[in-house]
Copies of this chain bind each other. A is one copy, B any other.
Amino acid sequence: MHFSISKDTLCQSIQIVGHAISSNSPQASLRGILLTCKDNTLTLTGSDADISIQINLEPNEENNLNIYEEGKILIDNKYLNEISKKIDSDIINLEIIDGSLTKISGEKVVYKINGMFANDYPVIDFSKPENEFSVFAYQLTSIIEQTSFATAPKETRPVLTGVNFNLENNVLHCTATDSYRLAKKLMPLNYENNFNVTIPARSLSELKSTLIVDDEKRITVALNDKKAQFISDNIILQTRLLDGGYPDTNRLIPTEFSYVLHIERDYLIKAIDRQMFIKTDNLTINNLKCSEDEIILSNKSQEIGESNESLNGTFEGSPLDISFSGTYLMDALKALRGKDINIKFTGSMKPFILESVDDDTTIQLVLPVRTYN
């Protein structure tokens, strides 16, 4: 294999496929980027077995790609990354010179790097799944930012570590829950086949950092019951799906409420933030005492002390006393959009929901916490 390419193109491509690579993967081949020259195309592939990213480059004026000889080689992502960032030339020349020994040269610097044999790389099937539609990049961003923080961090129930995408009657329901809170985003989507898949939160996070650069761009989504692909220009991000049925969360979301707190979102974020350092057993538990006369946010810890703050807002309903995780409330508030929100309660030990006044497509639900003060 032998090719030359613009430093900028190679550097950017390595950054992107590098997002799929775990630098401490126990499998040496997965710490590498697979470079393949075939049919006048340079393909870069990175993978951690769950997520795989592939970029296909054809020669053009911008990338200055010239393929002199077909072939393939696997090189540690760390080394390619360092070299492509720091080489002393606008054009990088890469050539296999002996087995897997690869010569990479700039203007005066010449590297000879021990590659790995391309045949050691796992075979990854990048064929496009049958269900294909497209969405705007900003729509994916909203879904990811407004739901994925609520997925479960640990794998006690693996399916909860992902965001569920359920298309029913041309409405895409995106849901994440760790069973203590839930985030849900609805999005209209005209597509003939209903589907119900759960995508790992980590894949969505890498999707956001790699494919989503221009909000107004359309991203192709293709999926079946095994995998999902996200495609933008010459980049494919492919992720496995999480196995197992996603729980039916609709019945968890209350629809009738006895109390409503109307408050400014940023103002409440700051008030919670002022009390976050007061922790009990490393958790921040806040308390709200609401009546039509007064709204008091407080937090008390045996060790540290306490904080009390009278909030500006409007409360409707009989007096309510409710405690909850400040961290979860903060996450939910940050995931909403707009200036004003409603927090709707059904009782002091019942889940409550947060909604933006201007946006009924997003629901944040938080479970209260029992306290013994």
Contact = CB atoms under 8 A, between A and B. Distances in A.
Contacts of A277: 78-79, 82-83
A243 B326 CA distance: 49
Interface string A3-19: 00000000000000000
Contact of A87 (B113, B274, B308): B274
A36 to B, nearest CB: 21
A114 interface: yes
A252 interface: no
B304 A109 contact: no
A316 B30 CA distance: 48
Interface in A269-326: 270-271, 273-277, 303-311
A301 to B, nearest CB: 9
Q: How many copies of this chain? A: 2
Interface residues of A, number: 32
A110 interface: yes
Given A270-B86, A273-B86, A309 B109 contact: yes
A112 interface: yes
Contacts of A111: 305-307
Given A82-B277, A277-B82, A305 B270 contact: no
Nearest to A301: B114
A271 B114 CA distance: 21
A205 to B, nearest CB: 26
Nearest to A296: B108
Contacts of A79: 277, 304-305
Contact of A305 (B101, B275, B307, B308): B101
A274 B109 contact: yes
A192 to B, nearest CB: 51
> Which residue, A78, A112, A277, has most C-beta atoms of chain B within 10 A?
A277
A277 B83 CA distance: 9
